[in-house]
Amino acid sequence: MTAESSLAVLGARPRFSELLPVGQFYWPAWEQFEEATRGIFSRRYYTSQRVAGPLVVELQRRLQEFLGVKHAIVVRNAANGLMIATHTLGLGGRVIVPSWAPISVVQSLARSKCRPVFCDIDPQSQQMSSASVRRLLERGGIQGILGVHLWGNALPVFELEALAQEFGVALYYDASHAFGCRVNDRAIGNFGRAEVFSFHQTNILSTGEGGCIVTNDDALASKFVAMRGDHVSGGGVALQSATSRMSEIQAAVGLAMLVDFERNRRNNAEQRKSYEERLRPIAGIRILNPSSAALSNLQNLVGVVDHAVFGMTRDELLNVLRAENVAAGRDFHPASHRISPYSEGMADAHEPLHDTELAAESTFQLPIGARVTIDHIEQICDVIHQAHIHCASKRSAPTPAVAT
Amino acid sequence: MTAESSLAVLGARPRFSELLPVGQFYWPAWEQFEEATRGIFSRRYYTSQRVAGPLVVELQRRLQEFLGVKHAIVVRNAANGLMIATHTLGLGGRVIVPSWAPISVVQSLARSKCRPVFCDIDPQSQQMSSASVRRLLERGGIQGILGVHLWGNALPVFELEALAQEFGVALYYDASHAFGCRVNDRAIGNFGRAEVFSFHQTNILSTGEGGCIVTNDDALASKFVAMRGDHVSGGGVALQSATSRMSEIQAAVGLAMLVDFERNRRNNAEQRKSYEERLRPIAGIRILNPSSAALSNLQNLVGVVDHAVFGMTRDELLNVLRAENVAAGRDFHPASHRISPYSEGMADAHEPLHDTELAAESTFQLPIGARVTIDHIEQICDVIHQAHIHCASKRSAPTPAVAT
């Protein structure tokens, strides 16, 4: 059997019979789920109605403890949480945000008529660059900074805090990828005016659909609660509402997942170790290291292809993996500033986005989490290895090889 | 024991030791819930991720069958569904809506910068009055009509359809209270451009949190799907997204509730019969009859107090009931046009709202559904009866009685 014949893209049988998706996909065991949800059936109270349900209240209390933060307000999802935060902070102008971020983060600004001003990233960590943020702030006209902690890593929070103070702008964060991560001895959730987590199935703590806004600011917290809830808060005034309630079942799942957090993080760590051991020897592949976080949830396995060294572009590699039924991702391609309407003047003049452009062409994500085994990881790394060998052999051949 | 002494408001022990809330609160039995959710655990797929999850797809198919409608698109809640519908219909101007409706319905217009123009209601049915709608249309400048089927009843859909055609305006509906109701042989869900259901715990079909947009228009349906979903629909264009996904557990609950629908409707019918028998003899209390619907889900038990005859105002009666731990409601008080910002010029010049004002002062809701027994109903009706007797005795007394 030749190296080529073991790749599905060259005609072999795919390594996986079912699509292996990117995402954490952790979930309580059935028994745990039953225990968590049984009480709901006896109470016959299934979601918030004017006031938050008992499990929602309990989940918020436990999240506050876990994160060491004063207020946790669970919401239906992170995009909605960011929208609530943006509105409540009173933003309605130009807000700095990385182009290298989920487009949903950028779009959350639109509801409050904010215009994104895109900053570039640090090429090593791919986190937003505080140098780039500073240059944008120096131009003036900025109301706020929406930081995005990417991929289990943490932003340079102290530098950003100092910049926000120096220029007198609001700083808040999308922390969808960073639940349970820490900077020094503080959990993500304690930085800026507010931070927003996502509890989508792709993240380490999932409620199926869900999210959470956290803050240490009492006044902000009560505004978040008002905007999440039912429409009339009393006194004959209809507040802007995001109807962003979380149901009791979702809260029950969240409570169970919180108990499992450390076990799931350790599972990520083992899988990551296995990936690193197998991918490190392959020239032209670099795995991002969430080293700005003192503790990472390790929920994302993100790599960068140097195609001149590896012998194949990122998109070619993804085709090879997809042929094997590995749904490897190329988030975020195209980067936000290349997506309409932001590519067509909706975004204000931004920084040169050289490192964002490079990242968008070279970055890929591999599956890690509950649906992945060490055997899967061996297979995936072997596919990447075979692809590399195949390309190397083609290039060293006297005449160009023809794929059959 | 005198009549007075059996009322908590006069010092007796409350009839109910726990608060009895208004709302349907139906839910699957545990065994049914387990059967519906077990598959989710084996698939390890918990919510929509780029595409809708398998149970969401199945629920949509079953809703389409049940309602006889081409497209059912489940969403996170009705307020969000209405916002999606308003945006997708391209509305951005003056929309006729009843003031006598949940404020969330009126507020869903704000996201698309629509201004509500309030119409009055029919005093008998309390549904929006098509005569009032016609008068507003004749003034001109109207883009759409957002009808609200209230309390298991149906609007005069054929009259409204004719008006919408005559004046060339978009007609769509909030059908939060009307799941499973029919007009002639057609289910609610088949009228106007689109209709939106709520699956909140207060309604007959609940998923805890949830809702559904239905339409027979293929082009609208695909726009609804795009706006519900993830942010980028491909081609480098970021559509406006409402991130309105429904999780797989919610869909599992919805599938089980659909099976239970007829049983729950019959339970409502029995409870309603019990209420009617006991309340009919009480002078000054009228129970609304959802008689415009050929079939009603009977999910709401709504009454009107004629205080001159009954001897007590609606608010006085509610105080009596609340003292007994019956959380009887006075939706919708105040009516939407009395709520800021609509009371302060946010709403355009509207109809005289005489019947809305009367309804807001006299209407009350009593508990009906899963948390209610026939014994509860006997107790509640007895309280209302005692309150009536107490007032009558006070008024027939030669000198005004003093409550002690």
pLDDT in tens, A45-80: 999 887 889 999 999 999 999 999 999 999 999 999
State whether A208 and B27 contact (CB < 8 Å): no
- Chain B contact for A371 (CB, 8 A cutoff): yes
A182 pLDDT more than 80 = yes
pLDDT at B3: 44
State whether A44 and B30 contact (CB < 8 Å): no
Per-residue pLDDT tens for B151-196?
Answer: 999 999 999 999 999 999 999 999 999 999 999 999 999 999 999 9
State whether B44 and A250 contact (CB < 8 Å): no
To the nearest whole angstrom, how far is the Cα of A237 from the nearest Cα of chain B? 5
State whether A237 and B46 contact (CB < 8 Å): no
Given pLDDT bands bounded at 50, 70 and 90, which one contains residue A403?
Answer: very low
To the nearest whole angstrom, how far is the Cα of A274 from the nearest Cα of chain B? 22
Least confident of A152-166, B87-101, B345-359: B345-359
A235 Cβ contact list (under 8 Å, min separation 6): none
* Mean model confidence pLDDT for chain A: 92
HSE value, Cβ hemisphere, 13 Å, CA-based, for A109: 31
State whether A236 and B341 contact (CB < 8 Å): no
Per-residue pLDDT tens for B129-146?
Answer: 999 999 999 999 999 999
To the nearest whole angstrom, how far is the Cα of A240 from the nearest Cα of chain B? 8
Q: List the single residue in A103, A243, A340 with the smallest CB-CB distance to B79.
A: A243
- Chain B contact for A91 (CB, 8 A cutoff): no
- Chain B contact for A373 (CB, 8 A cutoff): no
Which residues from A are below 8 Å from B26, CB to CB? none
Least confident of A63-67, A368-372, A389-393: A389-393
B230 pLDDT more than 70 = no
Host H or E run for residue B135: helix B130-139
DSSP string, B55-88: HHHHHHHHHHHHHT-SEEEEES-HHHHHHHHHHH
pLDDT at A346: 63
B404 pLDDT more than 50 = no
pLDDT at B240: 74
**pTM to 2 decimal places:** 0.93
Contact between B364 and B319 (Cβ < 8 Å): no
Mark which residues 321-340 of A lie under 8 Å from B by CB. Answer: 334, 336, 338-340
Residues in chain A: 404
**10 Å Cβ neighbour count for B322?**
15
| Residue A285, phi then psi, degrees to nearest 5 | -115, 125
State whether B339 and A246 contact (CB < 8 Å): no
Mark which residues 227-256 of A lie under 8 Å from B by CB. Answer: 230-232, 236-238, 240-241, 243, 245-250, 253
What is this model's ipTM? Answer: 0.91
B20 pLDDT more than 60 = yes
- Chain B contact for A30 (CB, 8 A cutoff): yes
State whether A209 and B342 contact (CB < 8 Å): no
Which residues from A are below 8 Å from B207, CB to CB? 247
State whether B107 and A240 contact (CB < 8 Å): yes
- Chain A contact for B44 (CB, 8 A cutoff): yes
State whether A231 and B102 contact (CB < 8 Å): yes
Q: List the single residue in B207, B237, B339 with the smallest CB-CB distance to A236.
A: B339
Given pLDDT bands bounded at 50, 70 and 90, which one contains residue B52?
Answer: confident
Percent share of chain A, pLDDT over 70: 94
- Chain A contact for B77 (CB, 8 A cutoff): yes
Which residues from B are below 8 Å from A339, CB to CB? 232, 236-238
pLDDT at A59: 97
pLDDT at A401: 43
Q: List the single residue in B41, B46, B238 with the smallest CB-CB distance to A341.
A: B238
Which residues from B are below 8 Å from A110, CB to CB? 240
